[in-house]
Amino acid sequence: MPRRMLCLTEGHTEPHAGKTAANLVRYKREEVVGLLDSTQRGRTAGELLGTGGDVPIFGTLDEAPEANMLVLGIAPPGGKIPQAWRGVILDAITRRKMDVMAGLHDFLSDDPEFVAAAKVAGTKLIDIRKNNEKTIARRKGIRPDCLRVHTVGHDCSIGKMVVSVEIANGLKRRGRDAKFIATGQTGIMIEGDGLPLDCVVADFVSGAAEKMILEHQHHEILLVEGQGSLVHPSYSGVTLSLLHGCAPQALVLCYEIGRECVTGVESVKIPPLALHKQLFETMANLHQKCEVIGIGINSRRVSAAEAAAERARVKAEFGLPACDVLRDGPDELVDAVIQFHARGDWHGPL
Amino acid sequence: MPRRMLCLTEGHTEPHAGKTAANLVRYKREEVVGLLDSTQRGRTAGELLGTGGDVPIFGTLDEAPEANMLVLGIAPPGGKIPQAWRGVILDAITRRKMDVMAGLHDFLSDDPEFVAAAKVAGTKLIDIRKNNEKTIARRKGIRPDCLRVHTVGHDCSIGKMVVSVEIANGLKRRGRDAKFIATGQTGIMIEGDGLPLDCVVADFVSGAAEKMILEHQHHEILLVEGQGSLVHPSYSGVTLSLLHGCAPQALVLCYEIGRECVTGVESVKIPPLALHKQLFETMANLHQKCEVIGIGINSRRVSAAEAAAERARVKAEFGLPACDVLRDGPDELVDAVIQFHARGDWHGPL
């Protein structure tokens, strides 16, 4: 039976906290019946998430009788299931016989109450982040002629996944054999494969990234979704494990206009973008030649005029292609990847 | 009942693979009955591990009737229990009613056969690496007047734990209130507390490091055991998570003379020590003032004369105190910590 998803975003139907829901309506709209947020009943995804058009926001489960899967549509720091959501989750399982899908660190399938309810109802609990990865990165067998482009950024939740998906889709439209490599819960829900790197045991994160590369390197170009940032005191290790595990030859550096403090650790100021570029290039070049080939701008908080001015400024500062893939379209970054691929000097040994 | 440990090192009674055993006989000798390695029966720990003096090496379990705990004394990459060891582990549990302690990624307590045997025998399975850490680093409540000294290095298994323990013990001998913060399985076995950071879920590694800092910051000086290296393609993320999580003001940079390739990824050459110093200082200084204050040399593979020459060379190159804490004693690094503490200019805000 096809998925007909209802995204639970209760009290969090906005682009940042609700990024999982936002990206499901953006990329899997045909499978999304609506959102569930009793505080926003009657409004639409387009109004509140800036994407998803007229996808409706329901106030109760019963307003979406065709839904067969409840998706927890938020990705809070720490990945805990909000206590207030337990009632609706249990109701969806017990009364509506819905499957439930989540990408949190707290697993549905470790919760005795959810497990018991799903067993009685005969429904599935799908934990996107649950894994048992135990592969160590070895840097063996990596194809030198598969171009690995990795999106990195100055903070978490700034759109690295969106930039990766948009470039991959843009390359496919140009007839190139590109593949999006999902490394986080939302990307996995969209792509249907991938590994939730931030939930892998620390020793095996780079191994899990490498495993995905090895599995998909028959493609011409891989777009590897980045995580966190090298300056984020809580998640920098995930970022570095991924950078070293996926062994990219090219990076697309992403940032959000107006983001000043590290998400979740507001005492830490985000340094200038030029420092991020230097840090990522330094750490990647420890192992193979790698350079930033373009810049992904997230301009959702500013006007079109401000976004255009900032785009011109950042292009001048770095001498690199730069665009907001949602506002401007991804063509400039797609071109950058194609031109870099054609240069051919990235076929270095590992 | 006090622990009377028998360390299983079958076929691996040498300092590198058997580092867990070596450090148990070094620091917990009064609790170690002997080693178990049928290939080295009749020899001593001192001969094969360079520490532990006349601690005997037995060929069978029955030669050590007083042992009440079997310890898996190796720490292989990937942390798997060698298949060939299952027989002796089951025999120790079933016939000898011994507890079993391990620090591997494969948990004894997840193995149905070991669990069943231990249940019948009424003995304990102790998995040092097993944890359920889910704390995110927040950089809140960290005391500016607790000096956090972190040992870092150019590769894994080069003696960062030993340097940390020796400096902590040296400080205590001088009457200072120092505490060793264990971050790996052997350190935890020795200190009796700590967290196995490389086995924590990736998003929570820096949070686990920070949690230990917050718990022990009533001490004057913390010596935080390092893990891996920033250039290790498999484990660099663990290294960076720990560096950012423990927020050190001072680093002791450790290396082993003659180590040329990254352990486990021999295609990657280890860069010069000066680059490691620069990388660690750059990454630490993103968040607070931090500098390398001394160098820990592991000279176990070279002669006394070669070690002395290299010590003089590295001191001249970096203008920093440097010693092999085992060969030379830790005094020079203990002095370096005391002098840095006295400078007082490290009380910066976080």
- pLDDT tens for each residue of B282-297: 999 999 999 999 999 9
How big is the CA angle at A35 (ends A34 and A37), to the nearest 5 degrees? 145
pLDDT band at B277 (very low <50, low <70, confident <90, very high): very high
Examine residue B134 and state whether it is found in any structural domain, yes or no.
no
pLDDT higher than threshold 80 for residue A299 = yes
A21 touches A14 (CB < 8 A): no
Examine residue A141 and state whether it is found in any structural domain, yes or no.
no
d(CA B208, CA A64): 42
pLDDT higher than threshold 90 for residue B173 = yes
Q: Where does residue A194 fall: left (phi above 0), alpha (psi -120 to 50 degrees), or beta otherwise?
A: left
**A241, A266, A279: which to substitute to probe chain B, counting the most B Cβ within 10 Å?**
A241
Give the CATH number, domain containing residue A75: 3.40.50.720
How large is the average pLDDT for residues B297-303? 97
Find, in chain B, the residue whose alpha carbon is nearest to that of A204: B234
Contact list in B for residue A286 (CB cut-off 8 A) is 230-231, 271
- pLDDT tens for each residue of B24-44: 999 999 999 999 999 999 999
Residues 6 or more apart in contact with residue B87 via CB below 8 angstroms? none
pLDDT band at B76 (very low <50, low <70, confident <90, very high): low
A263 and A323 together in one domain:
yes
Q: What is the dihedral of CA A140, A145, A146, A148, to 10 degrees?
A: 90
The pLDDT value recorded for residue A285 is: 97
DSSP B205-234: HHHHHHHHHHHHTTSSEEEEPP-S-TT-TT
Q: How far is CA B155 from CA A137, A145, A279, B234, in A?
A: 15, 29, 20, 11
d(CA B232, CA A10): 42
Q: Which residue do the tokens 């682009």 mark? A: A15
B191 and B306 together in one domain:
yes
3-state secondary structure A193-257: CCCCHHHCEHHHHHHHHHHHHHHHCCCCEEEECCCCCCCCCCCHHHHHHHHHHHCCCEEEEEEEC
pLDDT higher than threshold 70 for residue A350 = no
Q: Where does residue A166 fall: left (phi above 0), alpha (psi -120 to 50 degrees), or beta otherwise?
A: alpha
d(CA A203, CA B79): 10
Examine residue A234 and state whether it is found in any structural domain, yes or no.
yes
* Chain A interface includes B248 (CB < 8 A): no
* Element at B102 (helix H, strand E): strand B99-102
Q: How far is CA A30 from the centre of its chain?
A: 19
Of A98, A127, A156, which marks where a domain is finished?
A: A127
Find, in chain B, the residue whose alpha carbon is nearest to that of A237: B237
Residues in chain B: 350
How large is the average pLDDT for residues A69-80? 81
* Chain A interface includes B76 (CB < 8 A): no
Task: Give the residue from B71, B87, B16 showing the smallest Cα distance to B48.
Answer: B16
In b/e form, how buried is each residue of A133-167, taking b as 16+ CB within 10 angstroms?
Answer: bbbbbbbeebeeebbbbbbbbbbbbbbbbbbbbbb
The pLDDT value recorded for residue A253 is: 98
Of A80, A96, A127, which marks where a domain is finished?
A: A127
The pLDDT value recorded for residue B16 is: 86
The pLDDT value recorded for residue A77 is: 64
Examine residue A101 and state whether it is found in any structural domain, yes or no.
yes
- Judged by CB atoms within 8 Å, which residues 199-218 of A form the interface with B? 199-203, 205-207
The pLDDT value recorded for residue B84 is: 87
Contact list in A for residue B241 (CB cut-off 8 A) is 202, 236-238
d(CA A231, CA A48): 30
Examine residue B110 and state whether it is found in any structural domain, yes or no.
yes
Q: How many helices (H) and strands (E) does chain A have?
A: 11, 14
A83 and A34 together in one domain:
yes
d(CA A257, CA A29): 27
Strands A99-102, A69-72: parallel, antiparallel or unpaired by DSSP? parallel
Task: Give the count of Cβ contacts less than 8 A between chain A and B.
Answer: 148
Helical spans, DSSP H, in chain A: 19-27, 45-49, 86-94, 112-121, 160-173, 185-191, 205-216, 236-246, 273-284, 304-318, 331-343
**B148, B197, B201, B265: which to substitute to probe chain A, counting the most A Cβ within 10 Å?**
B201
Contact list in B for residue A279 (CB cut-off 8 A) is 282-283
The pLDDT value recorded for residue A31 is: 97
The pLDDT value recorded for residue A291 is: 98
- pLDDT tens for each residue of B227-259: 999 999 999 999 999 999 999 999 999 999 999
Cβ count near B300 (within 10 Å): 17
Contact criterion met (CB < 8 Å) for A237 and B240: yes
- Judged by CB atoms within 8 Å, which residues 126-185 of B form the interface with A? 134, 136-140
Q: How many helices (H) and strands (E) does chain B have?
A: 11, 14
A108 and A230 together in one domain:
no
Find, in chain A, the residue whose alpha carbon is nearest to that of B233: A244
Domain range for residue A325? 147-343
- pLDDT tens for each residue of A219-262: 999 999 999 999 999 999 999 999 999 999 999 999 999 999 99
pLDDT band at B350 (very low <50, low <70, confident <90, very high): low
> Which of A264, A282, A286 has its CB closest to that of B136?
A264
Examine residue A188 and state whether it is found in any structural domain, yes or no.
yes
Contact criterion met (CB < 8 Å) for B350 and A267: yes
A115 and A72 together in one domain:
yes
d(CA A287, CA A280): 12
pLDDT higher than threshold 70 for residue A116 = yes
A253 touches A217 (CB < 8 A): no
* Element at B266 (helix H, strand E): strand B265-269
Percent of chain A clearing pLDDT 90 (strictly above): 92
d(CA B96, CA B93): 6
d(CA A202, CA A236): 12
d(CA B198, CA B190): 17
Task: Give the residue from B25, B43, B314 showing the smallest Cα distance to B154.
Answer: B314
Contact criterion met (CB < 8 Å) for B237 and A233: no
A196 and A266 together in one domain:
yes
pLDDT higher than threshold 80 for residue A349 = no
pLDDT higher than threshold 90 for residue A81 = no
Find, in chain A, the residue whose alpha carbon is nearest to that of B264: A138
Please tell me the distance in Å from A81's CA to the nearest CA on chain B. 13
A121 and A157 together in one domain:
no
Average pLDDT for chain A? 96
A12 and A64 together in one domain:
yes
The domain tally of chain A equals 2
B23 and B160 together in one domain:
no
* Chain A interface includes B268 (CB < 8 A): yes
pLDDT higher than threshold 80 for residue B22 = yes
- What does the block give as tokens for B190? 């020795």
Classified as helix, coil or strand, B178 is strand
- pLDDT tens for each residue of A270-288: 999 999 999 999 999 999 9
A88 and A188 together in one domain:
no
- What does the block give as tokens for B1? 């009942």
Contact list in A for residue B105 (CB cut-off 8 A) is 134, 201, 203
The pLDDT value recorded for residue B348 is: 72
Examine residue B133 and state whether it is found in any structural domain, yes or no.
no
* Chain B interface includes A240 (CB < 8 A): yes
Of A127, A157, A174, which marks where a domain is finished?
A: A127
* Chain A interface includes B267 (CB < 8 A): yes
pLDDT band at A76 (very low <50, low <70, confident <90, very high): low
Strands B221-224, B147-153: parallel, antiparallel or unpaired by DSSP? parallel
Give the CATH number, domain containing residue A272: 3.40.50.300
pLDDT band at B349 (very low <50, low <70, confident <90, very high): low
Find, in chain A, the residue whose alpha carbon is nearest to that of B130: A201
Examine residue B141 and state whether it is found in any structural domain, yes or no.
no
B314 and B178 together in one domain:
yes
> Which of A238, A271, A279 has its CB closest to that of B237?
A238
* Window from B71-85, B150-164, B198-212 with minimum mean pLDDT: B71-85
Classified as helix, coil or strand, A85 is helix
Contact list in B for residue A233 (CB cut-off 8 A) is 137, 139, 206, 244-245, 247, 287
Task: Give the residue from B174, B175, B159, B204 showing the smallest Cα distance to B324.
Answer: B159
pLDDT band at A78 (very low <50, low <70, confident <90, very high): low
Contact criterion met (CB < 8 Å) for B233 and A203: no
d(CA A109, CA A98): 15
Please tell me the distance in Å from A58's CA to the nearest CA on chain B. 33
A309 and A204 together in one domain:
yes
| Structure ipTM | 0.96
Please tell me the distance in Å from B194's CA to the nearest CA on chain A. 16
